[in-house]
Structure 1
C-alpha cells in the first residue's frame, strides 16, 4: 500500500502544480481554483444544496465561496421560485462571460499539456486518466441506506428496470413498482450509491423466510463497470442482511446477465433449486452468511 499511496501522492503534487491549482488566480481569472470550480458547477443555475452535495463541500465553506462570487458580481443567490425554502445560485451576465473564459482557458491548458506527446502517448494518457478517474470515484463514493420510495431510490430502480429491458431477449416488464415496503426497516433495507448528484448503484434486502433474506434490485451503472463497485455493493448488502438477523441470503438472476452470475459464484454463492415464481429468473443462488461473513467478490460487472 505504501508504494500505491506514494505514486498517488506524487501524481497529486505533479498535476496540481502543472494545472495551476496552487495559484491564487487560477488560469488568470482572479479566482482560486476552488472558487472557479464552484462557479463552473453552477452552469445555468443550481440549487445550493445540490451544489454542496455534488462537490462534497462543507456548508460553511460553500457559503463563503458563494459570498465571494456574489461580491464579485458573478452570481446571484436567491430563493428558488419553485420552492421558497431552497436557495438557488444563478450566474450573472458577467458570470457567464467568466464561465466561457474559464472553459476556453481550460481547453487551451489541456491542449498544451498534450501537445508535446505523440499520438500513441496521448492515447496511453487518455486511457490511464479515464481508468484513474473511474477508480478514484468508485473508491470515494458512499453507500447509504435510504428509503427506496424517495426520488433518488426510484430513479435508481428505474435505471435497473431499463437495463433489464435492454438486455433480456424478450424485454422486461417490472409490473407494479409502487410497493417497496419490503425493502424498509425492520425486515428489509435499501442501499444507494450516489456520485455527482446521480445514482450509480443500488440494491435491497427483503425477508422471504425465517432467518432468510433476499437481495433484490441490485444494479450498477454501465459507466461504473470494472471499478469494483458491484462487489462492494454486494458485500454491503450481505452485511445489512446479517444486521437484519438473517444468516442465509438468496438471490435470483437471468442467465443473460453473465457478469452477475460470475460475480456471485466468485463471492461464494452456490446454485440452488428455484425458490420463487419470478418468470424472468433462470438461476437461483444461496449463501450461508453464518459460515462466510465476508464476500470475496472482486468484480463490478453486476446487475441482478
Structure 2
C-alpha cells in the first residue's frame, strides 16, 4: 500500500529525493538555456508547525516522491502555507501519487488553521500545472522572488 509519511527534510531518503529533483530541474532548465538555482531547505523550515515534509513510499516501502509545506507571511485570507519541492520519480508519474501527496500536505496545513495554500512553479512543468489546477489551485499574482518560478498559484481553504 502506498503511504505518505512525515519525515525530516534532511533525512537520508528525503535528501536523496530532493537531490534528484534538483538535478532534474537543472537538466530541464539547461535544455531551455536557463540556469536553475537549487536550495536545500533548512530542517527548521519543515518542522511542525512551521511546516512539514513528507515522503511517499510505494508498496515495497521504497521512497518514490517527496514534498513539503512551509508557513509564510499571512495573506489576505489569513494563515498561509506554501507547497514546496513536490516531486515524484519519473517512473511513478501518472498513478495519482502526486495528488496523494498534495492532499496530505493540504490536510496538514488545515490542521494548523491555514486559510490558503500557495505555490510557484515553472511553465515547463505542464503535468504539475495540470495537477494543481485539478486540485483547486488558480493562477495568482507573484508572491515571492523565486528566480526559478514563472507561474504562481493559490487555493483558498476556507
Q: How does the TM-score come out when normalised to structure 2?
A: 0.89
Structure with higher helix content: 1
Paired with 1:225 and 1:186, the residues of 2 have a C-alpha distance of: 29
Q: Does the Cα contact within 8 Å between 1:215 and 1:251 map onto a contact in 2?
A: yes
2:103 corresponds to = 235
Q: Does the Cα contact within 8 Å between 1:155 and 1:199 map onto a contact in 2?
A: no
Paired with 1:205 and 1:178, the residues of 2 have a C-alpha distance of: 11
Local SS of the residue matching 2:114: coil
2:125 corresponds to = 257
1:192 corresponds to = 55
Structure with higher strand content: 2
Paired with 1:190 and 1:243, the residues of 2 have a C-alpha distance of: 15
1:9 corresponds to = none
Paired with 1:238 and 1:258, the residues of 2 have a C-alpha distance of: 21
1:182 corresponds to = 45
Counterpart mapping for 1:61-72 below 5 A? none
Alignment gaps of 5+ in structure 2: none
1:281 corresponds to = 149
2:90 corresponds to = 222
RMSD: 1.4
Paired with 2:127 and 2:90, the residues of 1 have a C-alpha distance of: 12
281-290 or 237-246, larger mean C-alpha shift:
237-246
2:115 corresponds to = 247
Local SS of the residue matching 1:273: coil
Match of 1:160 among 1, 14, 21: 21
2:10 corresponds to = 149
140-149 or 250-259, larger mean C-alpha shift:
140-149
Shift of 1:165: 1.3
Q: Does the Cα contact within 8 Å between 2:9 and 2:42 map onto a contact in 1?
A: no
Deviation string for 1:208-261 (max 9, x for gaps)? 123000000100110101111111111111111111221100000000001111
- The structure that has the greater radius of gyration is 1
* Paired residue total: 150
Paired with 1:253 and 1:180, the residues of 2 have a C-alpha distance of: 22
2:136 corresponds to = 268
Local SS of the residue matching 2:108: helix
Deviation string for 1:72-105 (max 9, x for gaps)? xxxxxxxxxxxxxxxxxxxxxxxxxxxxxxxxxx
Paired with 1:160 and 1:241, the residues of 2 have a C-alpha distance of: 23
